[in-house]
Amino acid sequence: MIEFSLQVDSWILKAIIPELGRIFAIAQKESAYSFVCPNPLDDDLVEAWESGLAEEARGDRGAVARLLKSPKFPFGQVEVEEEDAEDLLRGLTELRLTLRSNSLSEVSDQELENGNLDLELMDSSLRMSVFAYIVTAEVQERLIDFLA
């Protein structure tokens, strides 16, 4: 079991969990990324390719759902079974890409990555999206540290 505490106040987590849930619902309806089958003319390969990707996406999204539903998560505690860690990493990537395209389009990649953001000038919904992006990034970074 991988366990760690996030470096964020629980009031921020409690505030962003609804935003994470909203983005998670969007991500389930529309994938943030797509993979083209290497041989689109082979119907059997296309079917196997798409069903394999769909199965992996279910696993990734299941790991994210378990994190979001965890009673400890609103208090900054993350618990992940080691065999779910890579699924969670991929699922959080999809969540962050969906968040980026649906809620953070007015913020540049550079601002998000280096943290040069003027939160005071943002409306509350944009601020919540930024916090959600940062928190999911922290979960990913901490997971990578454990897996390295």
Q: Mean pLDDT for the chain?
A: 82
Q: Phi and psi (nearest 5°) for 80? A: -140, 130
Rounded to an integer, what distance in angstroms lies between the CA atom of residue 19 and that of residue 30? Answer: 17
Q: Give pLDDT, residue 35.
A: 59
Count of CB atoms situated within 10 Å of the CB of 139: 21
Q: Give pLDDT, residue 32.
A: 46
Rounded to an integer, what distance in angstroms lies between the CA atom of residue 23 and that of residue 26? Answer: 5
Give domain limits for the chain: 2-147
Rounded to an integer, what distance in angstroms lies between the CA atom of residue 4 and that of residue 118? Answer: 29
| Two tokens, residue 87 | 């699924």
Please identify which residue in the block is written with the tokens 């970074």.
Answer: 141
Q: Tens-of-pLDDT digits for all 148 residues of the chain?
A: 999 999 988 899 999 999 999 998 888 776 645 556 566 666 655 566 555 555 566 678 889 999 999 999 999 999 999 989 999 998 999 899 888 888 888 888 887 777 777 777 777 888 889 899 989 999 999 999 988 8
* CA terminus-to-terminus distance, the chain: 15
Q: Write the pLDDT tens digit of every residue in 89-100.
A: 989 998 998 888
Q: For residue 127, what are the contacts with CB-CB under 8 A and spacing of at least 6?
A: 119
Q: Write the pLDDT tens digit of every residue in 47-67.
A: 665 555 555 666 788 899 999
